[in-house]
Chains A and B, each alone.
Chain A
Amino acid sequence: MAVPVTGAGQRGATMAVTGPGGQPAERVRPVSARHFVRLKLRVMGNNFRGQGWRIAMFVGGMIAGLWFAATGFFLLAAPGLADEPTYALMAAAFGGGLLVLGWLLLPLVFFGVDETLDPARFALLPLSRRTLVTGLFAAALVSVPAVAALIATGGLVLTSGLLGGAAAALVAAVGVVAGLLLCVAASRAMTSAFATMLRSRRVRDLAAVLLAVLAALLGPLQIVVVAAVQQADWDRLTGVARVVGWTPFGAPWTVGIDVAEGRAWAVPVKLLITALTIGALLWWWSRSLESAMVGAASGGRIRVRGGGAKVRGGAAKTGGGAAVGGAAVGGAAAGGAAGAVSGAVGQLFPKAVGWARRDRFGALVARECRYWWRDARRRANLITIAVVGIFVPVMVNFGGASFSTGEGMEFAAPDSSPVLVSISMVFVGLLASVTLANQFGFDGSAYAANVVAGVPGRLELRARMAAFSVYVLPMLAVVTVILGMLLGRPAWLGVMAGSLLATYGAGLAISAFVSVLGAYSLPETSNPFAMNSGAGVAKSFLTLLSMLGTAVASVPMVVAAALLGDAWLWLATPLGLAYGLGAALLGAYLAGDVLDRRAPELLTAVTPRR
């Protein structure tokens, strides 16, 4: 990845600094956004070279993007096609607003930022901040999501055209383009600002929790919205839509409708609002960009808690380290060192796995446990499991109630059933186990240590499952109990635990296979949101594959819940436990064999290309 970037970057530098030939005082050719776009396309193209599966991934991503684009297009075009002007404003304001919100939040939580053009790589080039921002901005527009969003919001142009004629369509088109610029600018500014803030570990923790909670809340929020829509009086919603239309979230999307509904005077004002917002976002982005460029190399500093570790300033990176390395050659430090070191083995094992034996298996479990906590990426996954794991079952089991009765969000009489509960638990188990689908990718090239030590594959996989379960099983237990209490059906606890354990175990087995056979590398960076271009698609494919397999494997539990009636209430837990444990062990056994044969290939797959 670095090679094409540097190469092309140098080309850019040559263009900017020296120009052609060796004449003194030559003309400096200006760098424009065009160069950045071309650079991005070149980097993307080079990434595909000789990598058939990457092309396949990309095509898959494009198909997914097109599918979303088409769905969005027809949703937004529906009011026009159906000639329902009442809904036109709402579709534009709410649909567009959701789109902006999605661009703001989703990159932070799920998909990561496309770091194809990493700002830090431009730090040494003589580029003005303005050139850099416009260039990177233009490059950011060249992406599948941006094109998909453009197509989807094209539906608004159609609606405006059908309702208000060509002039409205034209204005809507301008608005849609402006809206897309707003989306991209918002997403870039947000992630860049976060990446800067997230240098400190404490902020990073906090942000991960907040964002995970926020993202998880989107689900319940949806229920509220749907419930509200079902019984709401349309006038009030139209009023809300009108207000949203005057905020940056809705302004660019509603201008076409405004023309169609005879409020042409609103157009310049709304476009001005949009332009000002974009300007402000770009300014914010350029500010954080600068600090990202300067400080990107130093990255986050992570320290073990306690143990007398003092936080050094960021600048002490090499100097302080060298001083520590050099000063202590004499025996003077031996006493202090011995104090800190007493029981290296004891230090490795966290309290939670104090039970583990001090052998290979124990060491693997202990190291994994440490990593689930200390690696920001892994911890973000744990938080997602915790939050989504609670909200989704609540949503499924109570959402049904609110849909059928139309009584809103009253928790009094949920009409759930053992089958529905089983299914929601299957989902939670699935979500938890799928986290391991790229477990070796988390390690990156560090996995070489295990290859060199010749760790048997079965041991490796069993240890990883055990360490993950140390965190996940208590969480799942809490989820089960909370849901049981909310439902007011303690008798169902057995069914819930059984389905959960069975799915989790089967999911671990399938993830073991996927993680060995379909591993891919994650970028080695301190930014927990960073992700290689294309990896996002790869990730969703692998996740989908694991989820599908796990869902199939958990069908027996749901069928049993449907067929066996009351007897199942008692049988579910022991049978589910046996099924899950058996599946996990079998998975580790079989996949471990594959791992033994493929360890070097796996290492190559998870080592980031440099």
Chain B
Amino acid sequence: MTDEHSALALRGLAKRFDGKVAVAGVDLDVPAGSFYGLLGPNGAGKTTTLSMAVGLLRPDAGGAWVLGHDVWTDPVRAKQLLGVMPDGVRLFDRLSGAELLAYHGLLRGMDPAVVDQRAAELLDVLALGDAGRTLVVDYSAGMKKKIGLACALLHGPRLLVLDEPFEAVDPVSAALIRDILHRYVVGGGTVIFSSHVMEVVERLCSHVAILAEGTIKRVGTLDEVRGDRSLEDVFVEVVGGRTATGEELAWLSR
């Protein structure tokens, strides 16, 4: 059913909330070693799709496979290979950064000594060491994203699923996150992340999928999707954004 070379394979994923369709049958193959951007406007179903892909939300129909392991029937194996940074989800934020990393590491069944060593390294690289014993709840938005990324990376997953990793992140932190992700992909990992920031996607991604109204509208390598135009033009065209004619909202210019 799934391609052996796919790091993540989604088949017919669908979900409705209170009768309203959020995701209407998503098929997606994320090749191993790719840097995959999932684009879509607000409310397109990006978060819902990724939540179903990693086992946080039970789909009404369809399935998800991580490196060939079914997320819903063989969750233990699939989740071992998976690092996740959800969006709009709290961390256990009444722990300090180091405590949070230790918690995640042990929860993944890692050796305590390895956890200590990697946690120190991650905090150092992500410039979170200075925060000391500050609780994560008191971190700034960018720091929260970084510690979330550290938690997802700690156990050395083969596939990283990141929901809006660049949202509310200042340029310095964003550059840092970009570098780390880039190195991770070069080292053989696979990343899929959702975003609606075109430049980031254009700069980083090898593959792109555009999700709108709960279905995949365009999918392929970056060059296939954008052709000879800019990604933004394609995106706006696909999503069906309207351009203002200048007639409405006339009272704004007074």
Q: Hey, which bits of chain A sit against chain B, CB under 8 A?
A: 22, 24, 49-50, 301-304, 306-309, 317-318, 320-322, 324-329, 333-334, 336-338, 340-348, 358-360, 362-364, 366-367, 370-371, 374-375, 443-446, 448-455, 524, 600-601, 603-604, 607, 610
**Does B135 lie within 8 Å of A302, measured CB to CB?**
yes
Interface positions, chain B 138-175, Cβ under 8 Å from A, are: 138-143, 146, 151, 170, 172-173
**Does B132 lie within 8 Å of A363, measured CB to CB?**
no
Residues of A within 8 A of B101 (CB): 344
Q: Residue on B with the closest CB to A18?
A: B251
**Does B99 lie within 8 Å of A348, measured CB to CB?**
yes
**Within 8 Å of chain A (Cβ to Cβ): is B133?**
yes
The 9 tightest CB contacts between A and B, nearest first, are: A337-B129, A321-B140, A307-B133, A363-B106, A344-B119, A344-B98, A454-B79, A358-B112, A348-B102
Q: What's the count of A-B pairs with C-beta under 8 Å?
A: 202
Interface positions, chain B 170-199, Cβ under 8 Å from A, are: 170, 172-173, 176
**Does B107 lie within 8 Å of A364, measured CB to CB?**
yes
**Within 8 Å of chain A (Cβ to Cβ): is B228?**
no
Residues of B within 8 A of A374 (CB): 94, 135
**Does B146 lie within 8 Å of A325, measured CB to CB?**
yes
**Does B107 lie within 8 Å of A363, measured CB to CB?**
yes
Q: Residue on B with the closest CB to A23?
A: B251
**Does B55 lie within 8 Å of A452, measured CB to CB?**
yes
The CA of A364 and the CA of B251, in the complex, are separated in Å by 58
Residues of B within 8 A of A344 (CB): 98-99, 101-102, 105, 115-116, 119-120, 123
**Does B108 lie within 8 Å of A453, measured CB to CB?**
yes
Q: Residue on B with the closest CB to A312?
A: B138
**Within 8 Å of chain A (Cβ to Cβ): is B226?**
no
Q: Hey, which bits of chain B sit against chain A, CB under 8 A?
A: 18-19, 54-58, 75-76, 79-80, 82, 84, 86, 88-96, 98-99, 101-109, 112, 115-116, 119-120, 123-124, 127-135, 137-143, 146, 151, 170, 172-173, 176, 250-251, 254
Known: A306-B133, A360-B109. A342 touches B120 (CB 8 A): yes
Residues of A within 8 A of B99 (CB): 344, 347-348, 367, 370
- A interface SS class: helix
Residues of A within 8 A of B146 (CB): 325
| Interchain CB contact (< 8 A) of B55 among A306, A358, A367, A451 | A451
Residues of A within 8 A of B104 (CB): 449, 453
Min distance, Cβ B161 to any Cβ of chain A, angstroms: 9
The CA of A90 and the CA of B79, in the complex, are separated in Å by 67
17 more CB-based (< 8 A) A-B contacts, given A325-B143, A450-B107: A50-B18, A301-B138, A302-B135, A304-B134, A308-B132, A317-B140, A321-B140, A322-B170, A325-B170, A337-B120, A337-B129, A338-B129, A367-B95, A370-B99, A451-B55, A452-B86, A600-B58
Residues of B within 8 A of A359 (CB): 106, 109
Min distance, Cβ A523 to any Cβ of chain B, angstroms: 12
**Does B90 lie within 8 Å of A326, measured CB to CB?**
no
**Does A452 lie within 8 Å of B56, measured CB to CB?**
yes
| Interchain CB contact (< 8 A) of B251 among A22, A326, A371, A375 | A22
Q: Residue on A with the closest CB to B111?
A: A358
Min distance, Cβ A485 to any Cβ of chain B, angstroms: 37
